[in-house]
Amino acid sequence: MKPAFHHKLLNGRYGDPCLVVRIIRERRALLFDLGDIHALSPAVLSRVTDVFVSHTHIDHFIGFDAMLRATLRRSAPLTLYGPSGITRNVEGRLRGYAWNLIREYPAEIVVVEYSGRSLRRAVFRAESGFAKQTLPRTASDGLLLEDPAFTVRAAVLDHGIPCLAFSLEEPFRMNIDKDRLLRRNLTVGPWLTVLKRKVREGSIAGYLIVGRKRYALRDLLDIVRLGRGQKICYATDIGINRKNAGKLIALAKNADSFYCEAYFMEEDRRLAAGRYHLTTGECGRIARSAGVGKLYPMHFSPRYHGSEAELIKEVEEEFGGRIS
């Protein structure tokens, strides 16, 4: 079974962070943080529908203009999720340009602010020169986005300012039981894709044509096996304290892939405390407590250029699991 999500850190461990997640089946892409995004191909850029911004320090948000530029002529809206205050930051960036000649452009930017209790939405459309339109607030316990193919949840962590960590999860994996397929004399074909899509959407009324026969969808369900879905967690710029660790461990629990900052080495713990960042050891300990499958340590401080192996070793000593 192919994984639903393909994920890659765009600028390595030292560059301005951006995690690219492609959802192959949907021809769609998600970004976690908007650091430098110049390395993104136009094809992937055009498929980005949702961007999850941890916080708006410049190394995590400098890619906003490049993203906006790529969105101007497209009709599908772009949705940005972030912590309290992100709407003001987006508005400020939009106000930095003149927009008199783009009123016929279809571009629409939706901004969703998560405070820890509620979601506040605002919309900026090219047709109104990106004037802000505020929508009503809705309650949320951390669920930011629910789609038939995946959900995204967030936790508010302390980085001197609120900073969001994210968890992307597939509700379940679907496999076709090939033995059962053979026993029932059903042939492999595009109908399997339709069946899987219907199950994912929860719409199992209706019929499907297989070969020359018509089957009720519910009579085909015995060939679909459901398993645990893929889970990816992304967390960066986090102060070292028990409250942050507890929230992050809960969010990342049993993730298959965990992208986590390790900005400072252990010998610089005092600097880490002052800058609200994790150390290598803290990154490893949190990942171990969360029981993650594979850890991707990232966002190393530029002061350690050339010492990547030493940083990884410090993370490894505390984590003890698989590191990429």
Q: How far is the CB of 92 from Zn ion (least distance, A)?
A: 18
CB atoms within 10 A of CB 205: 8
59 binds Zn ion (CB under 5 A): yes
Q: Which stretch binds Zn ion (CB under 5 A): 54-62, 139-147, 193-201, 306-314?
A: 54-62
Q: Which stretch binds Zn ion (CB under 5 A): 194-202, 236-244, 282-290, 316-324?
A: 236-244
Residue nearest to Zn ion (CB): 57
Cβ proximity to Zn ion: between 59 and 308 the closer is: 59
- The conformation of residue 12, written as its DSSP 8-state character, comes to T
Site string for Zn ion, 181-200 (x = CB under 5 A): --------------------
Q: Which stretch binds Zn ion (CB under 5 A): 4-12, 50-58, 135-143, 179-187?
A: 50-58
- The conformation of residue 264, written as its DSSP 8-state character, comes to B
Pairing of strands 162-169, 231-235: antiparallel
Binding residues for Zn ion restricted to 248-307, rule: CB under 5 A: none
d(CA 171, CA 227): 9
For residue 125, give the H/E element and its range. Answer: strand 118-125
Q: How far is the CB of 273 from Zn ion (least distance, A)?
A: 14
Cβ proximity to Zn ion: between 22 and 55 the closer is: 55
Q: How far is the CB of 303 from Zn ion (least distance, A)?
A: 13
Q: How far is the CB of 27 from Zn ion (least distance, A)?
A: 30
Q: Which stretch binds Zn ion (CB under 5 A): 51-59, 164-172, 211-219, 227-235?
A: 51-59
d(CA 318, CA 295): 12
Residues 6+ apart with CB under 8 A from 60: 16, 17, 33, 34, 35, 53, 54, 236, 237
Q: Which stretch binds Zn ion (CB under 5 A): 39-47, 49-57, 140-148, 165-173?
A: 49-57
Burial of 288 (0-12, 13-18, 19+ CB in 10 A): middle
Cβ proximity to Zn ion: between 57 and 200 the closer is: 57
d(CA 170, CA 9): 20
Cβ proximity to Zn ion: between 59 and 91 the closer is: 59
CB atoms within 10 A of CB 41: 9
Cβ proximity to Zn ion: between 28 and 57 the closer is: 57
Q: How far is the CB of 289 from Zn ion (least distance, A)?
A: 23
CB atoms within 10 A of CB 269: 15
Q: Which stretch binds Zn ion (CB under 5 A): 33-41, 44-52, 188-196, 232-240?
A: 232-240
Cβ proximity to Zn ion: between 113 and 237 the closer is: 237
CB atoms within 10 A of CB 185: 9
Q: How far is the CB of 223 from Zn ion (least distance, A)?
A: 47
- Helices 308-319, 280-290: inter-axial angle, 10-degree rounding: 40
Cβ proximity to Zn ion: between 88 and 173 the closer is: 88
- The conformation of residue 203, written as its DSSP 8-state character, comes to -
Interacting residues with Zn ion (CB under 5 A): 57, 59, 237
